[in-house]
Structure 1
Amino acid sequence: MELGAFMMPAHPPYRSLAEGHYHDLDTIEYLDRLGYREVWIGEHYNLPAEPHPSPDLLIAQAVLRTKRIVLAPGGFMLPFHHPAELAHRISMLDHIARGRLMIGIGAGGNTPDLQMFNIDVPSGLNRLMMEEAIDIMVRFWESEGPFEYKGRFWTARRPQDSPDGLCSYHIRPLQKPYPPIGVTGLSEGSPTLRLAGARGWLPISFCYSTGYLRGHWRAVCEGAEQAGRAPPPRDAWRVSRGVYVAETWAEALRRTVHGEMGRYYRENFLPLLARSGMLAALKHHPDVADSDVTVEYCARHCWMIGTAESVAEQIEQMKHESGGFGVLHVMCLDHLDEMATWRDSLASLAHIVGTDISSDTPASA
Structure 2
Amino acid sequence: MVPGHERLKPSGRAFTPEPGFNPARLSQSGGVSSIMGSDLRAERASGLARRVRQSRLEERPLTSLTDNMTFGTFMAPFHRVGENPTLALERDLELIEWMDNLGFDEAWIGEHHSGGWETIASPEVFIATAAGRTRNIRLGTGVVSLPYHHPYMVSNRMVLLDHLTRGRVMLGVGPGALASDANMFCIDPERQREMMDESLGAIMRLLDGSEPVTMETDWFKMKDATLQLRPFQKPSLPVAVASVQSPSGVLLAGKHGVSVISLSVPRDSIRTTSLKDQWAIAEETAEKNGQTVHRKDWRLSVGCHVAETREEAFDQIRVGAGQVVTEYTGGTNGNPIPDVPANEVVDYMVEHNQWIVGTPDDVISGIERLQEASGGFGGLLLRAEDWAPRVELHRSYELFARYVMPKYQGSLTGIIDSQQRSASMKDALQANRRAGLKRATDTYLAGNR
Cα gap change, 1:139 to 1:263, in 2 (>3 Å): same
**What does 1:188-337 correspond to in 2, within 5 Å?**
190-209=247-266, 212-230=274-292, 232-258=293-319, 260-271=320-331, 275-276=334-335, 291-292=339-340, 295=345, 296-301=347-352, 302-334=354-386
Over 3 Å counting, the alpha-carbon distance change for 1:146 and 1:233 in structure 2 is closer
Residues 57-78 of structure 1: CA deviation (Å, up to 9, x unaligned): 1100111111111100111111
**Which position in structure 1 is the counterpart of 2:205?**
139
Identity value in percent = 32
Matched residue, 2:392: 341
Give the Cα separation in 2 of the matches to 1:317 and 1:120. Answer: 38
C-alpha displacement of 1:145: 5.3
Q: Is the 8 A contact 1:140 1:158 kept in 2?
A: no
Higher helix share: 2
Unpaired stretches in structure 2, ≥5 consecutive residues: 1-68, 268-272, 412-449
Q: Report if aligned partners of 1:7, 1:332 keep a CA contact under 8 Å in 2.
A: yes
Which has the larger displacement, 13-22 or 28-37?
13-22
Q: What letter is aligned with 2:397?
A: L
Give the Cα separation in 1 of the matches to 2:397 and 2:233.
Answer: 30
Structure 1 residue 239: Cα displacement: 0.6
Distance 1:24 1:320, change over 3 A: same
Matched residue type, 2:363: V
Which residue of structure 1 aligns with residue 181 of structure 2?
Answer: 113
TM-score by length of 1: 0.83
Letter in 2 for 1:96: L
Task: Give the total of aligned pairs.
Answer: 331
Query: TM-score when scaled to structure 2?
Result: 0.68
Q: Which amino acid aligns with 1:89?
A: R
Per the alignment, residue 24 of structure 1 pairs with: 92
Q: Secondary structure at the match of 1:75?
A: strand
The reply on whether 1:148 has 2:214 as its aligned counterpart is yes
Paired position in structure 2 for 1:350: 401
Change beyond 3 A, Cα 1:356–1:11: farther
- The answer as to whether partners of 2:262 and 2:299 remain within 8 angstroms in 1 is yes
Displacement after TM superposition at 1:138 (Å): 2.7
Shift of 1:144: 4.5
Q: Which ranges in structure 1 are unaligned for 5 or more consecutive residues? A: 160-167, 280-289, 358-365
Mean Cα deviation higher: 96-105 or 348-357: 348-357
Q: Partners of 1:125 and 1:106 in 2: how far apart?
A: 13
Deviation digits for residues 35-78 of structure 1 (CA, Å, limit 9, x no counterpart): 11111111000121111111111100111111111100111111
Structure 2: distance between partners of 1:115 and 1:325: 35
**Partner amino acid, structure 2, of 1:326:** G
Higher Rg:
2
Looking at structure 1, the residues matched to 70 and 150 of structure 2 have their Cα atoms a distance apart, in angstroms, of 34
CA RMSD of aligned residues (A): 2.4
Q: CA deviation at 1:177?
A: 4.1
Residue 320 of structure 1 and its aligned partner are, at CA, apart by 2.2
CA distance in structure 2 between the partners assigned to 1:6 and 1:144 by the alignment: 32
Query: Which residue identity does 2:324 align to in structure 1?
Result: Y
Separation in structure 2 between the aligned mates of residue 348 and residue 151 of structure 1, nearest angstrom: 49
SS of the aligned residue for 2:192 comes to helix
